[in-house]
Structure 1
Amino acid sequence: MQKQTNIVFMGTPEYATKILRALVEAKFSVLAVFTQPDKPVGRKQILTPSSVKVYSEANLPNVPICQPKTLRDEALVAQISSLKPDFIVVAAYGKILPKAILDIAPCINLHASILPKYRGASPIQSAILEGEKQTGVTAMLMNEGLDTGDMLDFVYTNCENKMAQELFSELGDMAGELIVKTLLNFQNLTPIKQDDNLATECKKIQKTDGLFSFNEDAHEIYNKFRALTPWPGIYLESGLKILSLELFEGSSGEAGEILSIYKDSFVVGCNSGAVKIYSLQEPAKKAVDANSYINGKRLRAGDKIL
């Protein structure tokens, strides 16, 4: 009978939950789950557990859930070491693992890009922002660098015209399949060194990243919309937020000019090309459909939105 593979899992958002679920369904033995501390969310700042914690409480009642503020604690390292894991699996955990933990067992990270591109905190959004046609997940052995470890295996998917949320979900499912395959086949895999000359890094998305102008190229605006919806969303200097938008193939005009008005939308010219807007929201007001906005502002073709 094959020996049970013991795992310590570290992850936080829904993407990580999909990977943990795949491990549980494949009958790997999860010894402990590490996730970020509960965070205050929304206007009322309600303390909210991570997606991984919610899943673990419901499906792994006998598995300890650890939410340390730091991993640089000798007692914590000793605790993980005492579990004698065969692997430590990491997915969007949100903390750097110190060498003391990396030395306990092979640490495998499921990073949502084809490395060495888009190392860092926002690989999915960054691939969309850059207009990539393809992205995927890399299973990699972790070292002390940020997503710089040797690569074990990959899965790929097309990302043209996909929204970030759609890709997060799809790549989570793909990463779940990838980690099961990687662990079962680990002894036969040959780690591949990353070429640092080809590496790109991406930063954590900030609210200010959502600011855009119709003076940008229509494709750039479309990519920003796909990458940054629902958070932080895309908005003009005035604070007007665009909630639903697509590229418009056809006429173009001056940046910010309303080119045509339809029953469910209106077309706005960009620096090059045009976009079609379906719904939007002014600061401190409710979201409205395009028609309500146009009628409320008494706008016509030829008027400008800036």
Structure 2
Amino acid sequence: MRIIFMGTPDFAVPTLAALHDAAHEILAVYTQPPRPAGRGKKLQPSAVQREAEIRHLEVRIPVSLKSAEEQARFAALEADVAVVAAYGLILPRPVLEAPRHGCLNVHASILPRWRGAAPIHRAVMAGDPTTGVTIMQMEAGLDTGPMLATARTPIEDKTTGVLTTELAELGAQLMVGTLTDLGLLHAVAQDDAEATYAAKIDKAEARIDWSQSAQQIERQVRAMAPFPGAWFELDGERVKLLSAELAEGGGDAGTVLDDALTIACGDGALRPLMLQRAGRPAMERAAFLRGKAVKPGTQVR
């Protein structure tokens, strides 16, 4: 098929690669413009732009698709379909309607649960037993279009980072199969009554509230890993908690209970496994404690 691809982060790269490897004709790759990154704040191309350039595909980086000129340029490609994966820009109606089969989106949840910007984080934080990907026919609403295909995977003890990689690959294969069977698939309307909204993660949500249950905090830690990283204060220093396990014990919330850095929560206790001090690499608990002794009875915040 003649395809326009639209995506920006690492999550979108497997879908672009799978479509190109399946011998579809990629007419153009739309992605967000380069952004400042790293210590030098130099402009860095998106993960999708880097992949597209390796594959010698045309890259387009419009700041917006709202202008008539940009929409006409899009329509002039005369695509069969546009494939969208975490692109990051709103698609105006003329763009949605320009390809012969419209625009298909790879969304990282089982819709209508977790419409919005952060479906993987929200699924982990909520304690959902499963998540997955949905291939959806895009329309003007936020992730409201009819569904063409879904695939599921258990969440178990996975972090957002691990799930993002897994769902990216799952979505890539599901999209290739969807395009193969496009004329045979029956679109299923979403039930708006079952919809939940996956709001963008606010950095303030990353701070650990030790009055919550150990189970809630452990989910928060996995949801925030690797970014932005759940954190707490120890002796006035911010420490990221990258992984942890439920532990026996209890006491005043935020109190260190033993030499293994087990911390009392509002209900139960949590034992850190991987931590990171500001400006230092991530390290296992034993290495962390060798560099910074923490006595039982210490209060973390």
Question: Normalised by the shorter chain, which TM-score bucket?
Answer: over 0.9
TM-score by length of 1: 0.91
> Does 1:179 pair with 2:198?
no
TM-score by length of 2: 0.93
Percent identity among equivalent residues?
37
Aligned length, in residue pairs: 297
Instruction: Answer whether contact 2:242 2:276 (CA < 8 A) is retained.
Output: no
User: Closer, same or farther in 2 for the Cα pair 1:298/1:39, shift >3 Å?
Assistant: closer
- Structural mapping, 1:166-245, within 5 Å: 166-236=162-232, 238-245=236-243
The counterpart of 2:153, out of the listed 152, 157, 181, is: 157
Q: 2 CA distance for matches of 1:115 and 1:177?
A: 18
- The residue aligned with 1:250 is 248
1:151-205 Cα distance to aligned partner (Å, 9 max, x none): 1110000012101111110000000110011111011111111111111112222
User: Closer, same or farther in 2 for the Cα pair 1:174/1:281, shift >3 Å?
Assistant: closer
- The residue aligned with 2:88 is 94
The one-letter code of the counterpart of 2:231 is Y
- The residue aligned with 2:295 is 300
1:67-99 Cα distance to aligned partner (Å, 9 max, x none): 000001212221221211110000000011000
- Structural mapping, 1:111-150, within 5 Å: 111-150=107-146
- The residue aligned with 2:47 is 51
Between 1:26-35 and 1:271-280, the stretch displaced more is 271-280
The counterpart of 2:285, out of the listed 278, 283, 290, is: 290
> Does 1:68 pair with 2:62?
yes
Instruction: Answer whether contact 2:222 2:243 (CA < 8 A) is retained.
Output: no
Instruction: Answer whether contact 2:215 2:246 (CA < 8 A) is retained.
Output: no
- Structural mapping, 1:98-109, within 5 Å: 98-105=92-99, 106-109=102-105
1:250-285 Cα distance to aligned partner (Å, 9 max, x none): 2233211222224xxx21111111111134344456
- The residue aligned with 2:76 is 82
User: Closer, same or farther in 2 for the Cα pair 1:177/1:295, shift >3 Å?
Assistant: closer
The one-letter code of the counterpart of 2:246 is F
The counterpart of 1:278, out of the listed 273, 277, 280, is: 273
1:121-153 Cα distance to aligned partner (Å, 9 max, x none): 101111011111100000000000110101111
Q: 1 CA distance for matches of 2:277 and 2:9?
A: 30
Q: 1 CA distance for matches of 2:300 and 2:240?
A: 12
Q: In angstroms, what is the RMSD of aligned CA positions?
A: 1.8
Secondary structure in 2 matching 1:139: strand
Q: 1 CA distance for matches of 2:54 and 2:279?
A: 37
User: Closer, same or farther in 2 for the Cα pair 1:25/1:295, shift >3 Å?
Assistant: closer
Structure 2: tracts of 5 or more residues without a match: none
Q: 2 CA distance for matches of 1:40 and 1:162?
A: 30
Q: 2 CA distance for matches of 1:282 and 1:175?
A: 35
> Does 1:16 pair with 2:33?
no
Instruction: Answer whether contact 1:131 1:160 (CA < 8 A) is retained.
Output: no
The one-letter code of the counterpart of 2:69 is A
User: Closer, same or farther in 2 for the Cα pair 1:288/1:151, shift >3 Å?
Assistant: closer
1:302 positional shift:
3.2
Q: 1 CA distance for matches of 2:218 and 2:120?
A: 15
User: Closer, same or farther in 2 for the Cα pair 1:291/1:249, shift >3 Å?
Assistant: closer
